[in-house]
Amino acid sequence: MPKSEPCLCGSGKPAPACCSLFHDGTAAPTAEALMRSRYVAYALGLAPYLLATWHPSTRPAELNLDEDPSRWLGLTIKRHEQRDDDHAIVEFIARYKVGGRAYRLYETSRFVREDGRWFYIDGDIKDQ
């Protein structure tokens, strides 16, 4: 059996044993795992997954990734802090290119767990 490609999230795990599980409906066990799976969803254009994992209080009405010309290049998790059982933050840097120019998104994101599932709430973007 050929070895699976590593997951785009940078965990080093094969994609079928990593973020693909969450995209297929398994609940992410931590806010960091959800953050990684959301990064991969952006890279793969999985708007329904992104909307489903965005908390209803801050979720946009729609998300059209077809209009986004970004090419995602890599994810670095700087910090994952579990505030309590149901609240966490994840600080990360996501690298991407638009029109041949490289950018970095440096964000501290807030997450909440409801009914056993983690949701992205919002984030603070840091200046580069």
User: What pLDDT, in 10s, does the model give residues 17-74?
Assistant: 999 999 999 999 999 999 999 999 999 999 999 999 999 999 999 998 877 778 999 9
Return mean pLDDT, the chain. Answer: 93
For CA atoms 8, 4, 63, 27, the dihedral sign is negative
**What's the pTM?**
0.92
CB neighbour burial string for 78-100, b if at least 16 within 10 angstroms, e if fewer:
eebeeeeeeebbbbbebebeeee
Q: What DSSP element (H or E) covers 52?
A: helix 47-52
The band of 128, judged by pLDDT with boundaries at 50, 70 and 90, is low
Residue 64 has what pLDDT?
86
Give the chain's domains with CATH numbers: 15-125 (3.10.450.50)
Q: What is the mean pLDDT of residues 104-116?
A: 97
d(CA 94, CA 113): 23
Nearest CA among 17, 51, 52, 22 for reference residue 37: 22
As a whole-number percent, the residues of the chain with pLDDT over 90 amount to 84
